[in-house]
Chains A and B, each alone.
Chain A
Amino acid sequence: MATSNARGSLAPSPLAGEGWAERYDAHTAISDAPTSRRASHADLPRKGRAEQSLTAEIHLSSHTFVADRSGALYWPAERMLIVADLHLEKASSAARNGTFLPPYDTASTLASLGTVVARHAPRLVVALGDSFHDGDGPGRLDPSDRTALRELQRGREWIWMSGNHDPDPATDIGGTFAGLLCVGGIVLRHEPSPELGCSEIAGHLHPLARVATRARLVSRKCFVSDGRRMVMPAFGAFTGGLNIRNRAFAALFDSLQFTAHMLGAARLYAIAGARCLPD
């Protein structure tokens, strides 16, 4: 697999030894990849085994993904786990500006990540950008957190994607770095792009859905998907959300033709975009 690093040039793949180089498209082949069909009932979660569990199936461009209640996304065919917007060291970043939040967000986020990694046992973990709240975050990692991270990376591949908060590769956090990935005709990048050549999974926007239930309004982080493009919820412990009715999402999805997969306590809930309310 050829990956593009943060500065935009093509770099040889460090994963080629596993035979992955033959299976993945190169960066330049993105525009040739087939576009997928429009949103339909297919992106509602399938009932059955998934119904009682912490996950739900989401389909994107003929591939099946498993959305986890924690906010992570698992791709069974590739044994890849994707998490977005970890915002590690957000509390210590705030402390530098005089706001002293309890500095346990990194430990908490890594613990949650550990749980979902144990649940799916992926071969590859992709952190979809804004993994650190700022570029100096890696340097501020607590030794225990650094050890926890190393434990998570043991026995598997790890790719840090560049985000707007952490655009440059860092040292001493393991893994490799990429600006953009293309796998099986699906582009993985931090910030979703309004022009869409092929299917895309992105983060950056921290989607949050607000829904009127029988009794009251409920707001929850969510996956947003229309079968072609998916925006992932923010995984970090101290991350909140931006309402999916916000203008930033309108530029990406055609007039509410999307499904919000809301993160409940017990499982995920698929709600049509048209049912979601603005702030």
Chain B
Amino acid sequence: MPVYAGGKFPLSTYLAARVRDLLAQPNGWPALPEPVREWLGIQQWRSRIPRPDELLVETFPRASKYYLVCYPFEGRLAHQTLGMLLTRRLERARLRPLGFVASEYALAVWGLGDVALRVSRGELSLDDLFDQDMLGDDLEAWLAETALMKRTFRSNAVIAGLIERRHPGKEKSRRQVTVSTDLIYDVLRKHQPDHVLLRAARADAATGLLDIRRLGEMLSRIKGRIVHKALDHVSPLAVPVMLEIGRETVYGEAVDELLAETEAELVKEAMGGD
């Protein structure tokens, strides 16, 4: 059901800068609690402590998917916008992104394609991936197609009373009509793009899903200052955002690839292979 996530205020830029400084100064660590010191120590050993003026990007494989975790410290909204930007660019680079999750200080993107491999081969440039010029990416037009937008529309449709929530096990009465909001969204976009619910969803997206200005500022700040750490498993700093994956995920668009994979497994089994 639509929930007011009132506790999730975006991290202010001042607080973000303060936290970045805190992390980057090891002689300030004794003031931190012991488990935190230990955690930071392991992070320093396994990967790297992000410096205030750089963007740390870690890549690692996990459970047959490839992860990219970066630490912009710009707040959830800007990170969500970055997630969409990266997903769009990774799609174009045929790296088949599957989803992303944003926290206040980090962003994790995962997919079927091995980003680290492409970077090591010189086929993918992280500078290009995090380029500040977003004009060519048609971010807002692309957003309209995404699962995230459909989810926003769905919340609005429920609030507006357009559809009822479907309760499993409840008898469908003759008067009730169940239609998926995804279907309504697609049809509405084609036939009445200025419908009030679409306008509401776009307005929600502009304020609640995207923060292009803050993202643009961040990208220009870290331009040329990206540090890549190719790891072979998850780093301590990535753990909190990785834990969010079960709770709040945005699905990327590589669904057809997943179906093709599953179909190929079937054919292999049928042919007697293993």
Contacts and interface: CB of A to CB of B under 8 A. Distances in A.
A269 B259 contact: yes
A269 B188 CA distance: 28
Contact of A216 (B184, B187, B258): B258
B65 interface: yes
Secondary structure dominating the interface of A? loop
A265 B254 CA distance: 10
Contact of A104 (B175, B188, B262): B188
Contact of B259 (A101, A107, A262, A272): A262
Interface residues of A, number: 38
Contacts of B261: 213-214
Contacts of A28: none
A275 B187 contact: no
Contact of B262 (A98, A101, A213): A213
Interface residues on B, range: 35 or more
A237 B259 CA distance: 22
Contact of B187 (A215, A220, A237, A279): A237
Shortest Cβ-Cβ A-B pairs, 4 listed:
A213-B258, A104-B191, A94-B177, A269-B259
Given A98-B175, A101-B162, 13 more contacts: A90-B179, A99-B177, A101-B177, A212-B262, A213-B261, A214-B65, A215-B254, A215-B258, A218-B259, A240-B183, A269-B256, A269-B259, A279-B168
B183 A211 contact: no
A100 B259 contact: no
A105 interface: yes
Contact of B270 (A41, A104, A239): A41
Nearest to B168: A279
B187 A269 contact: no
Contacts of A101: 162-163, 177, 179, 184
A108 interface: yes
Interface of B: 64-65, 98-99, 112, 162-163, 168, 175-180, 183-184, 186-188, 190-192, 195, 251, 254-256, 258-263, 266-267, 270
A275 B262 CA distance: 9
12 contacts: A94-B177, A99-B176, A100-B162, A104-B190, A104-B192, A213-B262, A216-B258, A218-B258, A220-B259, A262-B259, A264-B255, A264-B259
Contacts of B258: 213-216, 218
A271 interface: yes
A94 B175 CA distance: 8
B251 A272 contact: no
A29 interface: no
Interface string A247-279: 000000000000000101111011110010001
Contacts of A178: none
A97 interface: yes
A116 B237 CA distance: 51
Nearest to B183: A238
